[in-house]
Structures are given as structure tokens and as C-alpha cells.
Amino acid sequence: MTPLRFLSSVLNPHAADPVKLPPGYRNGADWVPRIGDIFPDFEAETTLGPIRFHAWAEGRWTVLFSQPGAFTPVCSTELGSLAETAPELDRRGAQAIGLTPDPVGDLANWCADVAELFGAPIRFPMISDTGGAIARACGMTHPKESPDLPIRKTLILDPALHVRMIFEYPLRIGRGTDEILRVLDALQERDRLDVATPADWQPGDVLLVPSAFSDAEADARFGAGGWQPLRRYLRVLVPGAAESRVAGNRNSGPRLPRQR
Ligand code: BEZ
């Protein structure tokens, strides 16, 4: 380190950090992303060239996933599965980006090999986090799983860069891409209609009145006949009630749910 850099680092110890963690994330223990946080910005090398993360991710839904390493069995199946799923992400206005601790050349060779093996081209970027600085700063490591490798973490970020969902899988267990799509659908439906989704919900299934709404608020939002209480604490929406309110068409009446 040059003397000038050393003097600057005394005044601002985090100036050289690759990830721009907001000061509020630094208090006490290591920061880990939580639902509602704005995911930190960083610069990185990827298989599709250098990126600044916020500029790359802002404006679309993003599935950011970390993996322990290239040319390994579980990671290869995950990469193949995400490559196959990429068109489904695209249909939802979403994009994927992966992260491993490998050099970018190794990542590019691995992507080409996995594409050949599973017959699905990897069109999304893979971040080369050699040294693991991004994984450590962004809570993608887990001391009990590995002292140095990133675990299988998946974060769904909304177009304003908020963390909306976090999945954490141990090193030996491959993640389920269907669940990523299901949660993406549920988050987008929640934002579009201001509703809640029940367990195992899929597009077209019944929706719930969020517990945060009183009955009067539910009437105001979904119409007096737009919801039914099964219990005081469990209120289901009549099919189409939320959509008709969003469309501003109060006279159209409920519509049938979409076929699955
Ligand atoms: C795997 O992908 O199989 C793997 C990679 C690193 C550590 C453990 C498992």
C-alpha cells in the first residue's frame, strides 16, 4: 500500500472495500442481508464483462445466487437448471446473476461445458468473486458450512433493489428453481394486487386478504362482496375481486381463476 493510500485508509478504513456497504450495515456483527434491505452496490468481473451491480440490476427483478465453486457436481446441476429456467425469468421481467469464487476464465469454460452437458446456454452473467470479498461482505458465507466458500444463497431483489426473499441452502443440497419462480410470481402478485398468497400458491389459485387489513379496509380495497371470511383470521378473496379493483372497473364482477 502506498503511504498516501495508507493515510487515507486511516481516515476512512472502508474506502478500499469492494462493496459499498452503507454505514448502518456495519454496526456490530457482520451484516447479512434481510428482507427490506437495499442490496449493496459493488463492482465485479463477470463472464459477460465488468458490471456495477446497481446499474446492472435496477429496473428489473433480479435472482442473485451464490455457489461454492465451478466444476463441482451440485453447482453444475444448479447452473444447468437455472439456464433452462432463464426464459421463464424473462417472461416475468426478471434476470439471473450468479457468483462463485472462481477466476472469470474458469467460469466461462465451466458455463460452456454445462451448456453442452445440459443443452441450455448460460445467457446470464456469472460474477467472479476471487478471494470471496463480495460473498463475505454480502452475507453469502456461513462459518458452519465452510470457512471460505460461499453457500447456496438465493436472493430475489425487486426493481428498486430491495431484498424481497432469501433462500439459504447448505453446500450439499441443490436448490429448487421451481420455488424461485413460484415466489417471484407470488411477490409480483402481492405488489400488483396488494394481497397475500397462501401456502403452495401458484398463479390462478385463491388469494388472501392480508392480516394487516381490517374488514372495513378489505371492503374498501376489494369490495364488500369481494372477500369471504372462513374464520375471523382467514379471509379469502372472491376470484377476480382484486383484479377488478386494480383495473378500476367496479362493475365487471368477479372473473374465474386462470386455468393451470
Ligand atoms: C458441489 O457442487 O457439489 C459442491 C461444491 C463445493 C462444495 C461442496 C459441494
User: Mean pLDDT, consecutive 10-residue segments, the chain of 260 residues?
Assistant: 70 72 73 95 98 98 98 98 97 98 98 98 98 95 93 98 97 97 98 97 98 97 96 96 73 39
Dist CA 199 CA 206 (whole Å): 10
Query: Is residue 39 a contact partner of residue 127, using CB atoms and an 8 Å limit?
Result: no
Q: Which residues are catalytic?
A: 75
The pLDDT score that the predictor gives to residue 259 is: 36
Q: Write down how long the chain is.
A: 260
DSSP annotation of 95: E
Which three cell numbers mark 107? 467460469
Tell which atom from ligand 1 comes closest to the C-alpha of 78.
2
* Domains of the chain, CATH where assigned: 14-187 (3.40.30.10), 194-247 (no CATH)
CA of 70 to the centre of ligand 1 (A): 9
Q: How far is the CA of 80 from the centre of ligand 1 (A)?
A: 15
Q: Can you tell me which atom of ligand 1 is nearest the CA of 146?
A: 7
Burial of 225 (0-12, 13-18, 19+ CB in 10 A): exposed
Residue whose CA lies nearest to ligand 1 atom number 8 = 171
Residues 114, 115, 120, 124, Cα dihedral to 10°: 90
List the residue whose alpha carbon is closest to atom 1 of ligand 1: 74
Model pLDDT, residue 258: 41
State which of 144, 148, 171 you would mutate to test the pocket of ligand 1, scoring each by most atoms of that ligand within 8 A of its C-beta.
171
**Residues near ligand 1 (Cβ within 6 A):** 68-69, 72-75, 149, 171-172
Q: How far is the CA of 150 from the centre of ligand 1 (A)?
A: 10
User: Can you point out the beta strands (E) in the chain?
Assistant: 19-20, 41-46, 51-52, 61-66, 94-100, 126-128, 141-142, 146-150, 152-157, 163-169, 227-231, 234-237
143 φ, ψ (degrees, to nearest 5) = -60, -30
- Ligand 1 center from residue 151 Cα (angstroms): 9
Other beta carbons less than 10 A from residue 52's beta carbon:
12
* CA distances for 141 relative to 103, 137, 152, 153, 195, angstroms: 18, 9, 9, 8, 33
Please identify, by atom number, the ligand 1 atom nearest to the C-alpha of residue 73: 3
Contact 75, 122 (CB under 8 A): no
